[in-house]
Chain A
Amino acid sequence: MNLLFQLIAVVVALGLTTVVLIISRAPPLRAYANIVLGAVGTWDEFSNVLVSWVPLLLVTAGLILTFTVGLWNIGIEGQIILGAIFTTWALRLLQSSGMHPALILTASILAGMVGGALWAMLAGALKAFGGVNEIFGGLGLNFVATALNLWLIFGPWKRPGVASMSGTVPFPHELWLPTLTAQSRLSPSALIIAIVAIVVVYFLIRGTYFGLRLKAVGRNASAAYLLGVPTWQYMMVAFALCGVFAGLAGAIQVTSVYNRLIPAISSGYGYMGLMVAMLVNYQAALAAPVALFFAALNVGSIQLPIVLKLDSSLAGVLQGSLVLLVLLGQGVRQRLFAKGKSA
């Protein structure tokens, strides 16, 4: 029954997106074909999908933890940015230190994880001590992170000469996370890290005391408290862990995808991760394939402006419609079956 409703949601979402395409006087089938080709047409393109998949999967893994404990961690974008900033800072600090490049990279990525965690815990502290709802605290910190990022790129870390929207000075090749081929930006280590992350989250929630306590707090914090779970502490740990994953995503963006810090370093992965998490109903099991699907849509639609003169935000339209319809479908299903029960 559940499956039926989800299938209906997918069909209606496709339908809505097709309507949108028709309104734009664009050929729907060609548009979809283009997206598909753009994602899996060539090996290069598919590797780009994987490049996009990595940060998305990492972020989704972290968000599943915060959702499990009952939090709306909208500040995830800022956590990615802070991870990227800390990584860049560490790289800049260590690049002329003479240490082995692999060591520098590892230290910088760790720094990124710390940065993301700190920023996430800041949102948690605002909630715990300031009474600021984590939605608005997170939003505010997102803006602060963006401002900080811009200030660094155009200020202390700017390129010699003219500051540029293309970011900081690119790092030397030794400090690039090794990629599959010279042209692709896909780093095998990053791919492995992302997959490990989601597997870790899956087993954490399913098979550990920690995960079970997170679930308890998320579903009924007061009962969990009476059963002995220190609720606030668990919330903070969830924030911190999610921040670690977000920081990791930011670190990978800096060390393998862009090899420098750019203004749009988080690329909207945070908000996208929130949507993937909502779509998989906050369960880790399907996070990887759904994230892959979203990544494919994103990369596939890059072609659209060139080939069909359509804006690439069509991917976002399809993604948003899917999540919205699944939410609505859930509501309809609950109403239909609740009515049956109470009568």
Chain B
Amino acid sequence: MHVELRNISKNFGAVHANAEITLTIPSSTIQGILGENGAGKSTLMKILSGFILPDSGDIVLDGKSTVIHSPADAIRHGIGMLHQDPLDFPPMKLVDNFILGREGSLFPDRRGAAGEFRELASQFDFGLDPDAYVDTLTVGERQQLEILRLLWLGARVLILDEPTTGISRPQKEKLFSTLKTLASRGVTIIFVSHKLEDVEYLCSQVAVLRQGLLVGNASPPYQTSSFVQMMFGREVSFGGRTTGTPGLPVLSLERVCLEGVRLQIQDVTLEARAGEVIGLAGMEGSGQAIFLSACAGLTRPVAGKIGLGSRNVTGQSHHSFKKQGVVYLPAARLERGLVPGLTLTEHFVLSEGARGFFIDRHAAAGLAEQRISTFNIKGTPTSTVESLSGGNQQRMLLALLRTPLSLILLEHPTRGLDIESTMYVWAKLKERCAQGTAIVFISSDLDEILAYSDRVLVFFAGRVSPPLPAESLSVAELGELIGGKGWGRFEREEASV
């Protein structure tokens, strides 16, 4: 099917998620869509697959202008989407997942459907058993099931959102050969990914999005460097890096292995020293979150040792980490970091800890006012946290930090913040560094990573790079590593050692 997107725009409040995106995808094409987190890829795909309606613009399918009202409507028009976490029903059998949603008689012919399923599966060499339960399948197999289902329902456009996250290499190869076969049959494939190698291998044309705009198109032969430049923009120096000498080790990880739902991290060794800033770079879902959570004691490693200062704290609870001066600031500020319904003052009281049995309201209000003014929070001691803007909530999280701390762990500290708040946050964090606190933070903003980190760890599909000095890393190199390329040199270095 020939797909045309004309001037698609979508705004969420003040955020321009998609701005006048125009793209033509001929039949039998495998179209790659590249972009970093927040570039607008998922919004565009949600529009195409019927989850949301665009504010303006047209979708033209095979020459006909079409409005797609819902995902079910989309599949009726022949557009099917394979989500990163396939939307299936784990406790049910494959054949039921397969049949579900297709119109038909009251008593579906399950045996007939199973037969058709087996036939379709064999066409693509998928080894799936229709009577197995979905919760016994790997992610790759669940993807295969969903692809078959969409094809069975007559999909002629297949959108795949980050499909190669969490699947094995042989499964990836099978997926790619499947996609190529489908394309040769006239199915249009849209392949959304951040993995440069996959996109370069598979796609017959690539579009790059950045900050809601379509910034470039490319056809083979591809040049990685131009992709990276389009995705991440030019190199900008913020001049915020301190060049003090770091102190004693505050956090040490020795051959730590972590197991997540979709990925595994093997053998990470790291030493974070007092006053040092370590940035964790990578696309979301590459392992940084679980790594940070392990540094906080919120996730137990399946192997390896974690130490704080000179103490071995492997396997201990987060609260015992806290006693050693570790604090964890989650990205979901209101859902995980703050308590909706409680006022700013009450939060300060909570974080300061108990002084006696009764709360001294007067002192608490005084403390709150002081912190509010120091941190320039636009709120009053009696306002509730949910009434604060995102930037002020982040300031609040910082304001709650006690002194002294040995380690501050931040998940996306400046996500959704404007420049002013971002610079404020980092100014405060730098103050802490000067006092000897180590900082480990996750960010999807390469500029931020390079501007503030002393050393950088890059994450890709569960693989962790050795700590890289930030001053020797360029945006281009970092972008490549995040996209999965250039990891060979670490193995070569290891081999040579």
Contact = CB atoms under 8 A, between A and B. Distances in A.
Asked if A and B touch directly (CB within 8 angstroms), the answer is yes
Interface of A: 207-210, 212-213, 215-216, 219-220, 222-230
Contacts of A213: 350
A210 B356 CA distance: 10
A209 B337 contact: no
Interface residues of B, number: 27
Given A225-B318, A226-B318, A209 B354 contact: yes
15 contacts: A207-B361, A209-B354, A209-B359, A212-B346, A215-B346, A216-B342, A216-B346, A220-B339, A220-B340, A222-B335, A223-B335, A223-B337, A225-B319, A228-B351, A229-B350
B330 A209 contact: no
Contacts of B330: 226
Nearest to A230: B319
Nearest to B338: A223
Contacts of B341: 215, 219
A9 B317 CA distance: 47
Contacts of A210: 357
B339 A226 contact: no
B336 A226 contact: yes
Given A207-B358, A209-B359, A227 B342 contact: no
Contacts of B357: 208-210
Given A207-B361, A215-B341, 6 more contacts: A209-B355, A209-B359, A220-B340, A226-B328, A227-B400, A230-B319
A213 B318 CA distance: 17
Contacts of B349: 209, 212
A209 B354 CA distance: 6
A230 B359 CA distance: 19
A219 B337 contact: no
B387 to A, nearest CB: 12
Given A226-B328, A227-B400, A219 B358 contact: no
B180 interface: no
Contacts of A226: 318, 328, 330, 336-337
A207 B357 CA distance: 9
A213 B354 CA distance: 10
Contacts of A230: 319
Nearest to A213: B350
B463 to A, nearest CB: 28
B336 A223 contact: yes
Interface of B: 318-319, 322, 328, 330, 335-342, 346-347, 349-351, 353-359, 361, 400
Contacts of A224: 339, 350
B392 to A, nearest CB: 16
Nearest to A210: B357
B359 A208 contact: yes
Contacts of A207: 358-359, 361
B350 A219 contact: no
A230 B318 CA distance: 10
A223 B342 CA distance: 12
A222 B354 CA distance: 19
A208 B356 CA distance: 9
B328 A227 contact: no
B358 A223 contact: no
- Which of B318, B349, B350, B361 lies at the interface centre, i.e. has the most chain A CB atoms within 10 A of its CB? B350
Interface centre among B322, B328, B353, B359 (most CB of A within 10 A): B359
A222 B336 contact: yes
A223 B339 contact: yes
A-B complex: 5 closest residue pairs judged by Cβ atoms = A209-B354, A220-B339, A216-B339, A219-B341, A219-B339
B318 A219 contact: no
Contacts of A222: 335-336
A279 B273 CA distance: 55
Contact of B359 (A212, A216, A219, A225): A212
Q: Looking at A219, A228, A229, which has the most chain B CB atoms within 10 Å of its CB?
A: A228
Nearest to B328: A226
A135 B25 CA distance: 56
Nearest to A228: B322
Contacts of A209: 349, 354-359
Contacts of A208: 357-359
Contacts of B350: 212-213, 216, 224, 227-229
A40 to B, nearest CB: 38
A216 to B, nearest CB: 5
A215 B339 CA distance: 9
Nearest to A217: B339
Contact of A220 (B318, B338, B358, B359): B338
B342 A228 contact: no
A225 to B, nearest CB: 7
A226 B408 CA distance: 13
A227 B351 contact: yes
Nearest to B337: A223
Nearest to B353: A228
A219 B318 CA distance: 20
Nearest to B356: A209
B233 to A, nearest CB: 33
A219 B339 CA distance: 6
A224 B400 CA distance: 13
User: Which of B335, B342, B351 has the most chain A CB within a 10 Å cutoff?
Assistant: B342
A282 to B, nearest CB: 12
A229 B352 CA distance: 11
A210 B355 CA distance: 11
A229 B342 CA distance: 15
Contacts of A212: 342, 346, 349-350, 359
A12 to B, nearest CB: 28
Of the listed residues A207, A222, A227, the one surrounded by the most CB atoms of chain B closer than 10 A to its CB is: A227
A222 B293 CA distance: 13
A228 B340 contact: no
B363 to A, nearest CB: 13
Nearest to B333: A223
A223 B358 CA distance: 22
Contacts of A225: 318-319
A223 B346 CA distance: 13
B454 to A, nearest CB: 26
Contacts of A223: 335-339
B409 to A, nearest CB: 11
Contacts of A229: 350
A338 to B, nearest CB: 13
A207 to B, nearest CB: 5
A225 B339 CA distance: 11
B14 to A, nearest CB: 15
A210 B322 CA distance: 19
Given A226-B330, A227-B351, A229-B350, A215 B319 contact: no
Contacts of B346: 212, 215-216
Choose among A208, A212, A223 the residue with the greatest number of B CB atoms under 10 Å from its CB.
A223
Contacts of B328: 226
A228 B352 CA distance: 10
A229 B349 CA distance: 12
A340 to B, nearest CB: 16
Contacts of B337: 223, 226
A38 B314 CA distance: 67
B319, B337, B339, B346: which has the most chain A beta carbons within 10 Å?
Answer: B339
Contacts of A215: 339, 341-342, 346
Contacts of B347: 227
